[in-house]
Amino acid sequence: MTSTVQASTTEGSQTQPKLSLSAQKKLDPYVTVKNNHYVLGENAKRVVSEEYNVAKQVIAQTNVTVENSGSVISKDINLRGRHLIGWGC
């Protein structure tokens, strides 16, 4: 069973970093699913060098949410054109 995961905008007292819509669209093609975790490819640095570290943080927090909730990310999902859960929009 696959469930939808929505990352919380706050984790403890920290506010989750957010990416601009423009950066999200540029990064979507570089996000894959491996071992039930979202993975941001190294080539994404060339596309959004300034927001790359923020994207890595958002993905890490989203992966924690997926893991803690026991959810399963479908490997068949086409991420292109869709916004990664937890991007912060």
Q: Is pLDDT of 3 > 60?
A: no
- Calpha distance 27→41 (Å, rounded): 9
Question: Residue 72: what are its φ and ψ, rounded to 5°?
Answer: -125, 130
Which two tokens mark 7?
Answer: 């990352």
Q: What is the mean pLDDT of residues 9-22?
A: 66
Q: What is the mean pLDDT of residues 64-89?
A: 69
Q: Residue 41's pLDDT band (boundaries 50, 70, 90)?
A: very high
- Calpha distance 9→48 (Å, rounded): 22
Query: In the prediction, which pLDDT does 30 show?
Result: 93
Looking at per-residue pLDDT, the higher value among 41 and 7 belongs to 41
Q: What is the mean pLDDT of residues 51-70?
A: 93
Query: In the prediction, which pLDDT does 70 show?
Result: 93
Helix intervals (H) in the chain: 21-27, 44-47, 52-69
